[in-house]
Amino acid sequence: MFENLTEKLQRAFKHLRGQGTLTEENIQEAMREIRVALLEADVNLNVVKELIDHIRDKAVGAEVMTALSPSEQVIKIVRDELIALLGKDTARFKFAPQPPTVILMAGLQGSGKTTTTGKLAAWLKKGGHRPILVSVDVYRPAAREQLKVVAKSIDAKIYEGDLKGEQPGSKLVERLANEARREARNFGFDTLIVDTAGRLHVDEELMTEMEQLKKLLNPQEILFVADAMTGQDAVNSAQDFHKRLGLTGVVLTKMDGDARGGAALSIRHVTGQPIKFIGTGEKPDAFEPFHPDRIVGRILGMGDILSLVEKAEATLDKKKSEEFAKKALLGDGFTLEDFRDQLKQIKKLGSMESILKMLPSVGPFAGMQQAASQVDEKQFVRLEAMINSMTPHERRNHDIISGSRRKRIAAGSGTSVQEVNQLLRQYAQMAKMFKSMGKGGLAKQMMRGGM
């Protein structure tokens, strides 16, 4: 998968790795090579431009992580940005609150739509679902026959229906779709997958038919099946389909072939819709949910460095929490810098509310909850800005932050003196709480708090 791109990116990194320290010229050169690699992989021009801008900004202003060398740090930035480009998390498949869940398969002829319909059914079956398939391609008997063969191979139920010699057209399509849905309801199938007619090109008739099907079936998922080998053509047709239908996701097929990577890396950015699955072969089980981090790992193709990067991230977090725990346990030296670190860690963990819910509301955490609940999540940025506007000396000795210093901090962070006052109050509250716990006291108080 994406061998060429992998090779080119590795070459760019190799040049960096030869350097002891990174200069702006090194970084520029690496960015140039990465840019060429992406363009040669047929990645959309705008996507390349934005990606390179992000990577360059981050590489130049990168915080030094002692666990990584400068070049490894650039690799980490590239990895993070690629993952972000692909949507970060694995996109979820949507089920209807009331079965049957309806999935409309869209795509051009030859993209792998019928094969994917079968693969999806097999995947659902494996997950304990009861899918039923229907082909509404009333124009090509061979297409309907193909789905029948596919369904048989995975032992899935298909609604064949009777065309009754009716003229092919949207009326017949709608009748079949309606009947299939009724069949699903009557016989307890929880998912209905509708394989639709394909065309060689996007045309008006096809789009109108798809729109009618959408209106009729109100599907939870409209998946666009795209052949990864066709690069930007796949991206363009995905965009056309999305404009008319509002896709909910993309399935990229033929990822086992020598696709260059352009479709995979562009389609989400261009359409705004995530890749939900990939097809990796002709067999029914050559199909998997799309995990951005794993794909990026494969694209970068450097297992050793990537695991180092992950380890560095984990140890960094661990070290910070250990330091914090030590300070909290000993009840000393909880500075505004620690406060800022804690805010960052909490931000990483998830929403404030979800964390608060995990804490007992009595005992020592009552104070913590109160202090924390005053911290609106949108305020995080402002709090950080205020602490950043302090001098290191002030951060370690909050007592010296006088009225004039508060004014300066407010001006420097674009906030108000009132907000600075409030921050200092919150901080003092937390520091006092930690102090009152005293040496070894935290454990005892936790027990009292029922933890």
Query: Residue ranges for the binding site for GTP?
Result: 107-114, 195-199, 253-256
Residues 237, 242, 248, 251, Cα dihedral to 10°: 0
Residue list 261-290, contact with ligand GDP (CB under 6 A):
279-282, 286
Q: Contact with ligand GDP (CB under 6 A): which of 26, 71, 111, 135?
A: 111
CB of 268: closest distance to ligand GDP in angstroms? 19
Paired with 251 in beta bridges are 225, 277
In the bound state with ligand GDP, the residue whose beta carbon lies nearer, of 24 and 282, is 282
Among all chains, which residue has been given the structure tokens 């506007």? 389
Q: Contact with ligand GDP (CB under 6 A): which of 127, 257, 414, 440?
A: 257
CA distance 274 to 264: 10
Q: Is 107 in the site for ligand GDP (CB under 6 A)?
A: yes
Number of residues that bind ligand GDP (CB under 6 A): 18
Q: Is 438 in the site for ligand GDP (CB under 6 A)?
A: no
Closest CA to 81 of 57, 64, 63, 65: 57
Q: Is 109 in the site for ligand GDP (CB under 6 A)?
A: yes
Query: What is the secondary structure of 265-328 as a DSSP string?
Result: HHHHHHHS--EEEEE-SSSTT-EEE--HHHHHHHHHT-HHHHHHHHHHHHHHHHHHHHHHHHHH
Q: Contact with ligand GDP (CB under 6 A): which of 112, 131, 262, 274?
A: 112
User: 154 phi and psi, to 5 degrees?
Assistant: -110, 10
In the bound state with ligand GDP, the residue whose beta carbon lies nearer, of 236 and 429, is 236
Q: Is 110 in the site for ligand GDP (CB under 6 A)?
A: yes
Q: Is 6 in the site for ligand GDP (CB under 6 A)?
A: no
Residue list 164-203, contact with ligand GDP (CB under 6 A):
198
Closest CA to 398 of 430, 427, 437: 427
Q: Is 73 in the site for ligand GDP (CB under 6 A)?
A: no
CA distance 425 to 354: 24
Residue list 408-437, contact with ligand GDP (CB under 6 A):
none
Query: What is the secondary structure of 127-177 as a DSSP string?
Result: TT--EEEEE---S-HHHHHHHHHHHHHTT-EEE----TTPPSSHHHHHHHH
Q: Contact with ligand GDP (CB under 6 A): which of 76, 79, 113, 382?
A: 113
| Contacting positions for ligand GDP (CB under 6 A) | 107, 109-115, 198, 253-254, 256-257, 279-282, 286
